[in-house]
């Protein structure tokens, strides 16, 4: 399901993929927390939060707590290439290897290779400096 209505999306999903600029991640995660989401959460944003200098996983830990199942989707990808169906590779990183493997497998497609990693900071920093 793709929607701009966060509440209805969270009610209907098994896991949530949040694609928002890093500058908005804290606010969006606050809304997720308010909805009492107890589903896996993946963000697809890159860079550092401007006000704090924190990486997305650090913002998520502050807002959601360390026990929330979550991870980052990043890569040396360009939106236009993905939209054109060109071969693309991404990495799904999470502190929990089983989480990272599971969602990397679920997102993997013939033209979209998704690898997994437990190096959240490394994947997020690589995406930020791309």
Task: State pLDDT tens for residues 85-103.
Answer: 899 999 999 999 999 999 9
Across the range 73-88, mean pLDDT stands at 87
Which CATH topology does 6-129 take? Rossmann fold (3.40.50)
pTM score of the predicted model:
0.86
Tell me which residue has tokens 């909805």: 35
What distance in Å separates the CA atoms of residue 42 and residue 69, rounded to the nearest whole number? Answer: 9
Q: Which residue has the higher pLDDT, 66 or 71?
A: 71
Q: Catalytic site residues?
A: 130
Q: Where are the domains of the chain?
A: 6-129
pLDDT higher than 80, residue 65: yes
pLDDT value, residue 103: 95
For 51-61, letters b (16+ CB in 10 Å) and e give eeebbbbbbbb
What distance in Å separates the CA atoms of residue 129 and residue 30, rounded to the nearest whole number? Answer: 26
pLDDT higher than 80, residue 130: no
């Amino acid at each position: 399901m793709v929607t701009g209505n966060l509440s209805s999306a969270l009610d209907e999903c098994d896991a949530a993929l949040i694609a928002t600029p890093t500058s908005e991640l804290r606010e969006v995660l606050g809304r997720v927390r308010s909805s009492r989401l107890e589903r896996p959460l993946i963000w697809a944003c890159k860079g550092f939060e401007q006000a704090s200098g924190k990486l997305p996983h650090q913002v998520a830990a502050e807002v959601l707590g360390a026990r929330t199942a979550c991870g980052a989707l990043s890569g040396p990808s360009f939106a236009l290439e993905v939209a054109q169906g060109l071969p693309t590779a991404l990495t799904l990183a999470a502190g929990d290897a089983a989480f990272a493997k599971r969602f990397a497998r679920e997102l993997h497609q013939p033209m979209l290779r998704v690898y997994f990693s437990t190096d959240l900071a490394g994947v997020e920093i690589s995406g930020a400096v791309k």
